[in-house]
Structure 1
Amino acid sequence: MYSNLSEDALLGGRVKLLQPRDGFRAALDPVLLAAFVPARPGDSVLELGCGTGAAFLCLAARVGGLAITAVDRDPALVDIAQRNAGLNLRPAEIRSADARELRHLPPMHHAFANPPYWAGGTPSPIPGRRQAAHEDAPLGEWIQAMARPLRHKGTLSLVLPAARFAEAAAELREAGCGAVRLFPLWPRLGTAAKRILIQARRGGAGPDEVLPGLILHEADGRYTAAAEAVLRDASALT
């Protein structure tokens, strides 16, 4: 299905990524999502809707020794993700399945996703972009699927439009995940956040937090030093 691929680089060249020239292409969201997952060496991690593997590969570039499970319903993207895992020498179990129907996964320390989150508007006429970006299942179903295999106090992390933070927080609590952490992504200083990172812990009972967030761009459009540290140097967002 995806015969015309480009080879691109993320994290300043630490991650090599084959991806369709005419399909959905990784941008900031998976890189920032990976930086927000508080994984440690030896942890087990699960990515749902992995696409070509950008997020789990960025996470693996920052944290060594992870046991990675990744899932996508598109077999052609799973094939590319497997090629990317090999290209980057990052062992991973990558499955083709509907994430919402997954059962019998081993216990996970962390689960994360960049789900299709656009619920309105006109879907892209390009199938790969439409599948990756336009919501065709409720957000709550994604969150339930991510929460099921989590260990007690395991983390669940998402990148979403800022307008959906209240819905996401409610769905996280419904799935048994609390101590919600909200991390705004500001396009520029003094502007409203368009994207957020949101995270909760399985069985978490502590207070919710609104974190300082990250300003992505200077007034002239350049990335801020803090954004460069994440996008080029693989720094964590914590």
Structure 2
Amino acid sequence: MSLDQTTDFVKHQTVTRDAFLGGRLTLSQPRNGFRAGLDSVLLGAAVPVGTGRLLDLGAGVGTAGLVALSLGRAERADLLERDAATAALARDNVAGNGLEARAKVIEADLTMADARRAAGWADNGYDAVIANPPFFAAGQGTLAPDLTRADARHMEPDALDLWGRCAAASARAGGTAIFIYPAEVLSALLGALDGRFGGLTVLPLSPRPDAPATRILLRGSKGSRAPLTLLASRALHGPEGNGFVPHFDAIFRGEAALDW
């Protein structure tokens, strides 16, 4: 929900202030660039309760990690973002929500280990790692005219493996990784985590009951050898209308988390 407050930002971007979790969290984000939506909120709400140190890979303006903090799912969060302008917004969002003592923005490319370390990232140091990676391979789909939005939606076909590698290098032994991704490319995500995380659990998300899943949440444990579990699909909406079913409505209003 937009609060209709705008400011000028670097690169002449116009920034909106948007309310999440029923107003418990207010975030600045580009009006015309990549904008956080339901996926980011669900990802943050899916963090296991009792998580100590959380890493949000490709954090954007910080939505998923700050949702996890606001819902009390994690004690501290590092927000890893490589785009300087977007990282600046994330820092503003940390400060604007009074979370300076619990959240830190790390401005670095997740594919460059030395740069990550120099910026404050911890090897094998996180209880949970979350990510909402770009989901169009380069050359597929329609490239967004805004470069930050395009960067958030497009990547080379082999880049997803780098996200899996970074997640594995970040999580402590027994730590958790959680990704949200389009259901149609689940196989690619499974491949990126194969051999790095076990006990994989897949939660399909569909728009309506009996409709095919369009998104999946995938959770794994570093070092586990447990088999994969495929959960029943959950629908965001009922058979008719645009309202969310009660459980998801409670999540988006900041009154519940996603337990799965």
Instruction: Specify if TM > 0.5.
Output: yes
Identity across matched positions, percent: 32
Match of 1:151, SS state, is strand
- Give the whole-Å Cα distance in 1 for the aligned partners of 2:53 and 2:187: 28
Match of 2:164, SS state, is helix
Match of 1:16, SS state, is strand
1:145 Cα deviation from its structure 2 partner:
0.6
- Give the whole-Å Cα distance in 1 for the aligned partners of 2:42 and 2:12: 25
Deviations 1:102-142 (A, max 9, x none): 35433110001111111222211121211111124621111
Aligned pairs for 1:159-238 within 5 A: 159-174=180-195, 176-218=196-238, 219-232=240-253, 233-238=255-260
Contact 2:251 2:257 in 1 (8 A): yes
Runs of 4+ in 1 over 6 A off after TM superposition: none
What RMSD, in angstroms, separates the aligned Cα atoms of the two structures?
1.6
Taking structure 2 as the reference length, the TM-score comes to 0.86
Aligned residue-pair number = 236
Match of 1:80, SS state, is helix
Deviations 1:54-93 (A, max 9, x none): 1111000111662211111101111100000011111222
Amino acid at match of 1:88: N
Structure 1: gaps of 5 or more residues = none
Taking structure 1 as the reference length, the TM-score comes to 0.94
Amino acid at match of 1:53: G
Contact 1:215 1:226 in 2 (8 A): no
2:84 is aligned with 1:54? no
2:96 is aligned with 1:87? yes
Q: Which of the residues 11, 26, 32 maps onto 1:22?
A: 32
Q: 1:65 to 1:156 in 2, by over 3 A?
A: closer
1:117 is aligned to 135
Contact 1:47 1:69 in 2 (8 A): yes
2:83 is aligned with 1:74? yes
